[in-house]
Amino acid sequence: MHMEVKVLFFGVLSEVTGTYFKHYHDVHSVDHLRMRIIDDFPEFAHYNYRVAVNNDITEDDLPLKHDDEVAFLPPFAGG
């Protein structure tokens, strides 16, 4: 069985990738996932974003498990 994670893209990142979500197989960490996304969408590397794994914001290179949900969140303007 393949390990699969669901990746969500918000704001400008959904424009860069052309989708709001994508499934990735056999990625073992957040950094590995970033590399795969940049391989698919090289311009992704030029954007700032936060990462949430299963709704928890993280700054770390966490290991990923089957069925994890990873969200890439661009900076949001607020008022």
Portion of the chain with pLDDT greater than 90, in percent: 89
CATH number at residue 46: 3.10.20.30
In a domain, 25, yes or no: yes
Token digits for 37?
């996304």
In a domain, 32, yes or no: yes
In a domain, 79, yes or no: no
Give the residue-averaged pLDDT of 43-70.
Answer: 95
In a domain, 27, yes or no: yes
Considering its fold, how many domains does the chain have in total? 1
CB-CB contact of 25 with 64 (8 Å): no
Q: How buried is 65 (Cβ within 10 angstroms: 0-12 exposed, 13-18 middle, 19+ buried)?
A: exposed
Give the residue-averaged pLDDT of 18-31.
Answer: 96
The range of the structural domain enclosing residue 58 comes to 4-73
**Residue 13 confidence (pLDDT):** 97
